[in-house]
Amino acid sequence: MGILRPMNGLSLTTGKTVERFTEETQAPYLTAGLAQYGADYYAVLGAPIGGSSDQIRQGYHRAAKLLHPDRYTGDEQGQRVATKLYTNLVTPAYDILGRGQRRQEYDMMVRLLGAKFVSSGLVVAPQAATRALLSCKTLTSLQEAYIGAVGQLACRQYEEISQGLARTGELSELNLAYLLSNAKLSDPAHQDSLSSGRIAQPSSVAPSVNWSERHFERGQDFLKRKQYREAVQSLREAIRLESGRADFYAHLGVALMRQGLPGMAKAEFQKALALDPAQALARQWLQMDTPKARAMAGATTGKTSTQSASQAKQNLFAKFWSSLNKPI
């Protein structure tokens, strides 16, 4: 019976560093292929990148069925491994890919990563599972080879619990090779090189993705939608990638204040002002007195508790009055 180990696989050669495209990580379970740059949810569900909702749903049900503890009755270690795979990999993957808005955001980050690969000049070291994809000359042939390769691995991905991680790692390697090949074949400079026989160079016009700015934009969007926990995660990732932006800290302070954490929020506002004493958002919130700030943050916990206590007293009095007025 296999155990959960970090994966070793596809290697990349580049003179530049490619930043992570998600805050989430699947280590120590998956660290190869696309998973080394962020969470590879498609590999976990055995579905191709850009697959249909039905393919996502089928992948989830297939994984859930094959990793169900009842399949490992009498095999304590098998049950333990299956539960870990389902809980730590499958469930989070379906939570993202099974929800329209979350999947759109994730797919956007995946597409941007492909462009980043081209602009950074990444080279995938050919492996048995990826050689066919890397040799494709057209987008059509690439798509056919990719779909076929994913299908062959996905149908037996979790059949043997000891091979579950290895096959998921292979799927992640396929996803990485597909993203890189797809981005290159979609690049006009690469198409010109194919027709002229020249060796393709990284496109000078390929977009350079500012990942810290992307996370900041996501954080602002989460704030607007009142998804404060997600906003905090995105803004912290933006700060991790670029710690010198006062507006990052100011918006993180707002997100924390909205969560009812004024102490932590104040620390972030102070960091923002240390970087930029004129930062308007941080100054605005720090100038507020605590009760007013908490009111603006929607901290109604105390009010709700008072109302609940008052209502309880009223109910108790009503019961007491009713018992006194019962007919004898």
Distance CA 160, CA 290 (A): 57
Q: How far is CA 141 from the centre of its chain?
A: 29
Q: Looking at residue 200, what is its pLDDT?
A: 36
Q: How far from 281 is each of 220, 252, 284, CA to CA, in Å?
A: 13, 11, 5
Q: Looking at residue 185, what is its pLDDT?
A: 83
Residues 68, 10, 203, 193, Cα dihedral to 10°: -110
Q: How far from 133 is each of 6, 7, 126, 140, 144, CA to CA, in Å?
A: 25, 21, 9, 11, 9
Q: Looking at residue 203, what is its pLDDT?
A: 37
Q: Looking at residue 238, what is its pLDDT?
A: 85
Q: Looking at residue 308, what is its pLDDT?
A: 47
Q: Looking at residue 118, what is its pLDDT?
A: 72
Q: Looking at residue 268, what is its pLDDT?
A: 93
Distance CA 259, CA 13 (A): 43
Q: Looking at residue 109, what is its pLDDT?
A: 84
In order of start, what are the domains of the chain with their CATH numbers?
12-196 (no CATH), 211-296 (1.25.40.10)
Distance CA 74, CA 265 (A): 51
Q: Looking at residue 159, what is its pLDDT?
A: 87
- Enumerate residue ranges in the chain where pLDDT < 70: 1-27, 120-129, 187-209, 289-328
Q: Looking at residue 65, what is its pLDDT?
A: 92
* Closest-CA residue to 162 (of 75, 41, 58): 75
- pTM for the full predicted model: 0.57
**82-125 confidence digits (pLDDT tens):** 998 898 899 999 999 998 888 888 888 888 887 777 776 666 66
Q: Looking at residue 286, what is its pLDDT?
A: 87
Q: Looking at residue 201, what is its pLDDT?
A: 36
CB-based contact 144:182 (threshold 8 Å) = no
Q: Looking at residue 15, what is its pLDDT?
A: 42
